[in-house]
């Protein structure tokens, strides 16, 4: 099977912004799940390119749900019927209910949202209970800028 890194390099759809290190980690985490009928939630989808990439990498996924606070994400439409986008603050009740109405539980949850610690914690408290047993919860871009070596 084609690797996630190769799919990323060949991707010609919407812009997909991922650190190359993440791609290798995601391959390690999800390689064994590629052929399963899983459900994925990504908080923070920006241009929607990552949803296209996940759709290619996870051909048997049932639901690929993205949520973004940017109203422009309401114009994102995909040919793949497995992809849904909820526009709103993932931590607001309306967006949470919309996400839950699409799928009650998720096998993979990726928080690539605001990156503000308070929001990350709130998202975790809201969405971790929706994680399927044996599922994976990932928080992206948690940088250690408070350490001298990262300033």
How far apart are alpha carbons 21 and 107 in whole angstroms? Answer: 22
Cα torsion through 110, 10, 21, 17, rounded to 10: -50
pLDDT given at position 49: 84
| Residues designated as active site | 115
Predicted pLDDT at 96: 98
In CATH, 4-141 is 3.40.50.150: yes
Each of the 151 residues of the chain gets a pLDDT tens digit; together they read: 787 777 767 656 554 555 567 888 889 999 999 999 999 999 999 888 889 999 999 999 999 999 999 999 999 999 999 999 999 999 999 999 999 999 999 999 999 998 888 999 999 999 999 999 999 999 987 765 555 554 3
Pairing of strands 83-87, 106-111: unpaired
């Amino acid at each position: 099977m084609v690797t996630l890194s190769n799919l990323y390099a060949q991707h010609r759809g919407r812009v997909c912004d991922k650190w190359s290190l993440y791609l290798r980690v995601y391959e390690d985490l999800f390689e064994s799940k590629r052929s399963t009928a899983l459900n994925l939630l990504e908080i923070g989808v920006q241009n929607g390119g990552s949803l296209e990439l996940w759709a290619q990498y996870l051909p048997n996924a049932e639901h690929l749900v993205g949520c973004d606070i940017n109203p422009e994400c309401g114009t994102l439409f995909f040919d793949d019927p497995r992809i849904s986008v909820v526009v709103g603050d993932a931590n607001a009740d309306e967006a949470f209910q919309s996400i839950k109405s699409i799928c009650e539980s998720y096998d993979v949850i990726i928080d690539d949202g605001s990156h503000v610690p308070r929001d990350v914690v709130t998202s975790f408290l809201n969405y971790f209970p929706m994680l399927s047993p044996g599922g994976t919860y990932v928080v992206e871009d948690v940088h250690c800028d408070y350490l001298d070596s990262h300033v």
